[in-house]
Amino acid sequence: MSATIIFDDALVADLSQQQPQTPWGRRTSKFRTVVILAILIPAAIVTMLWWFSEIPKPVLMVSIYLPLQIVASVLAAIAVRGTKSAIDAVIIVSAIGATIFSLVVLISVLWSIVTKGMQALSAAFLFQNNEYISPSTPLGYGGLGHAVVGTILIVGISALIAVPLGVMTAIYITEVRGRAVPYVRFFVQAMSGVPSVVAGLFILTTLILTGALNQSAFAAGLAYAILMLPTVARTAEEVLKLVPDELRTGALALGSTRARVVLKVVVPAAKTGMITAAILGVARVVGETAPLLLTALKNDKTVLNPFSDPISALPTYIFDNVAQPYPDAVIRAWGAALTLMVLVAILFTLTRMLSAKRLGK
């Protein structure tokens, strides 16, 4: 009658799923009462002051509510757990405070973009260009169609350049595995820190000031490619690492050459991941403004030729309309911000969906 525990796979799997114990997470009824009191009392005092006193609101929140809440939490912690957990209470209150602060900022940004941007949205705004439009023109006329075309053109050119190069860099690191792997990885990391304005200056001095290129979509695409490449390379590297080695050895054993293993087995196996890498690269650059100001300038007309003329894109359209003394121009800037943010949100959701799909397999 011995109670032997059999460590079969199921039990081991179950045990390894267990979360670490968190004694600070115990809940007793006394604990609950004290915590509720510690939350309600400062909140009540501050609500009273909020309505019935002349103290400026930011001062009230920062120099009265926050200290009050911390003191209340410390007292509650001492009452429940003893003096040792007093600092814990301070950390918990500040951690929740930091989280709320970040969320408030995020929500404020998204809320302003949506509410102010919606005022600008109309068919004309999305499809017309800015020709014959001045900052004082009323909202019903003109739009950012030319800037959307510009963004698509510039980002498309940079993706055509950076995605293959980035994927090839990743293939070098994970498949070819040459002697220079640590160096290549180091340079890619260093490249991811190149400020966007420096990428613009580089294209400006090497290609535009020397007369090789105009300020155009192609020049801007090259500057974007510099920023896009490291993101693509690092994501593609992570993804290629997930391809099981059995696929490689199996293909080699069947007699295929290394090049064929990579091109016909490894890369197709990581197809979704490659698309994720490309999308992340696009999302990284789509809102960059500084390189465009140096390499693409602006243009009120719709430009389709990537080599001929300066060109506007969504970020430069926003840039031109900010700080104009005309309310309609400012609304246009918010409308363009909403368009750009929707674009970013679509890319963001796509990467999430693709990676969820990959993990689900």
Partner 1 sequence: MSSTETEFRDLQSAATSHRGDRVFNRIITAAAFTALIVLAGITIFLGFQAVPVLQTQGIDFLTTSIWDPPNYGIWGMLYGSLLLSIIALVIAVPTSLLLSVFMVFLAPNSVAKVLTNLVDLMAAIPSVILGLWAFYVLSPVSEQWQALLNQYLGWIPIFQNSSGNFSGTPFTAGFILAIMMIPIVTSVTREVLGRTPPELINAAEALGCSMWTMLRYVALPYGRGGLVGGVMLGLGRALGETIAVFFVLKIVFDPVNYYNIIESGGGSVATLIVSKFGEASGPYETQLLLAAGFFLFMGTLLVNVVANLIVNRTGRLKS
User: What residue type is 78 in one-letter code?
Assistant: I
Residue closer to partner 1 (CB basis): 262 or 303: 262
Q: Report which DSSP code applies to 296.
A: T
- Give the shortest CB-99-to-partner 1 separation in angstroms: 5
Q: Residues 28 to 67: which contact partner 1 by CB under 8 A?
A: 56, 58-59, 63
**Considering the rule CB under 8 A, would residue 164 count as an interface residue with partner 1?**
yes
By the 8 A CB rule, do 347 and 279 touch? yes
Q: Kindly state the smallest distance separating residue 11's Cβ from partner 1, in Å.
A: 18
Nearer to partner 1, 1 or 253 (CB): 253
Per CB under 8 A, contacts with partner 1 among 103-122 are 103, 105-106, 108-109, 112-113, 116
Residue closer to partner 1 by CB (options 1, 359) is 359
CA pair distance 53, 60, nearest whole angstrom: 10
- Of the candidate spans 123-131, 146-154, 228-236, 301-309, the one that interacts with partner 1 by CB under 8 A turns out to be 228-236
Of 42, 142, 143, 230, the residue at the interface with partner 1 (CB under 8 A) is: 230
Please count the CA atoms within 13 angstroms of the CA of 311 that sit on its side-chain side: 31
Question: Judged by CB, which is closer to partner 1: 3, or 255?
Answer: 255
As measured in angstroms, the least distance from the Cβ of 2 to partner 1 is 28
Tokens for 282?
A: 């696009």
CA distance 42 to 63: 12
Q: Please give the structure tokens belonging to residue 224.
A: 């974007």
What's the rounded Cα separation, in Å, for the pair 241 and 200?
Answer: 32
| Contacts of partner 1 in 307-326 (CB under 8 A) | 315, 318-319, 322-323
132 or 183: CB nearest partner 1: 183
Q: Which is nearer to partner 1, 6 or 211 (CB)?
A: 211
Site for partner 1 in 324-343 (CB under 8 A): 330, 333-334, 337, 340-341
Residues 129 and 131: their CA atoms lie apart, in Å, by: 6
Shorter beta-carbon distance to partner 1: residue 4 or 16 = 16
Would you count residue 69 as binding partner 1 (CB under 8 A)?
no
Closest C-alpha to 30, from 18, 38, 20, 19? 38
- CB nearer to partner 1: give 206 or 305: 206
Task: Tell which positions 16-35 bind partner 1, by CB under 8 A.
Answer: 19-24
Which residue type does 349 have?
T
Is 262 near partner 1 (CB under 8 A)? yes
Helices 327-360 & 86-118, crossing angle to 10 degrees? 120
CA-CA distance, 142 to 350, in Å (whole number)? 31
Q: Does 250 bind partner 1 (CB under 8 A)?
A: no
Q: Which range in 135-143, 152-160, 260-268, 300-308 contacts partner 1 by CB under 8 A?
A: 260-268
Task: Compute, in degrees rounded to 10, the torsion defined by CA atoms 73, 78, 81, 84.
Answer: 100
- The interface with partner 1 within residues 274-293 (CB under 8 A) comprises 283, 286-290, 293
Closest approach, Cβ 33 to partner 1, in A, equals 21
Residue nearer to partner 1 on the CB measure, 47 or 99 = 99
Measured between alpha carbons, how far is residue 215 from residues 236, 292, 296, 312 in Å? 31, 9, 5, 11
Count interface residues toward partner 1 (CB under 8 A).
100
Residue 250 identity (one-letter amino acid): G
Q: Using CB under 8 A, which residues numbered 173 to 202 contact partner 1? A: 173, 175-176, 178, 180, 183-184, 186-198, 201-202
Q: How far is the CB of 94 from partner 1 (least distance, A)?
A: 5
Alpha-carbon distance of 29 to 46, in angstroms, equals: 26
The angle at the Cα of 236, spanning 232 to 238, to the nearest 5 degrees, equals 125
| φ, ψ of residue 126 in degrees (nearest 5) | -80, -30
Binding-residue pattern over the window 87 to 106 for partner 1, x denoting contact by CB under 8 A:
xx--xx-xxxxxx-xxx-xx
| Whole-number Cα distances in Å, 177 to 169, 182, 237 | 11, 10, 12
